[in-house]
């Protein structure tokens, strides 16, 4: 495995760990980080979040990761699972880097 790939995997795991903590600390999900499977649904029978939690989650992710998530984030498939949130944050971080590089 190349060092670049290892770095990407490590970064993804760090984002996942932080999102798990946001779910627990900010939204009151009553599970340990290891109990939150990355493919767990955020809403309904998954973690049981509601629309107010979704707004709070987006605000917290914007703050914690210093990114601007897309305005249409609430209707996106990425908002369905924990892994989707990881993908969303990684994409927002990549967009921020691309914008900074373009300037």
Q: Indicate the domain borders of the chain.
A: 3-102
- Percent share of the chain, pLDDT over 90: 76
In 3D space, the residue among 95, 83, 25, 30 whose CA is nearest the CA of residue 57 turns out to be: 25
Q: What is the average per-residue pLDDT within 44-62?
A: 93
15-28 core/surface letters (b: 16 or more CB in 10 A; e: else): bbebbbebbbebbe
Domain spanning 3-102, CATH architecture: Orthogonal Bundle (1.10)
- Could you tell me which residue, 64 or 101, shows the higher pLDDT? 64
Q: Report the pLDDT value the prediction gives residue 68, as an integer from 0 to 100.
A: 84
Residue 103 has pLDDT above 80, yes or no: no
pTM (two decimals): 0.90
Residue 73 has pLDDT above 80, yes or no: no
Q: Report the pLDDT value the prediction gives residue 71, as an integer from 0 to 100.
A: 75
Q: What is the average per-residue pLDDT within 9-20?
A: 97
């Amino acid at each position: 495995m190349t060092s670049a790939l290892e770095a990407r995997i490590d970064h993804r795991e760090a984002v996942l760990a932080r999102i798990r903590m946001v779910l627990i600390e900010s939204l009151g999900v009553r599970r340990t980080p290891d109990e939150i499977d990355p493919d767990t649904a955020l809403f309904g029978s998954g973690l049981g979040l509601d629309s107010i939690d979704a707004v709070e989650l987006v605000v917290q992710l914007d703050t914690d990761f210093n990114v601007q998530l897309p305005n249409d984030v609430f209707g996106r498939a990425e908002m369905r699972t924990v892994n989707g949130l990881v993908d969303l944050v990684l994409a927002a971080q990549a967009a921020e880097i691309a914008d900074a590089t373009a300037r």
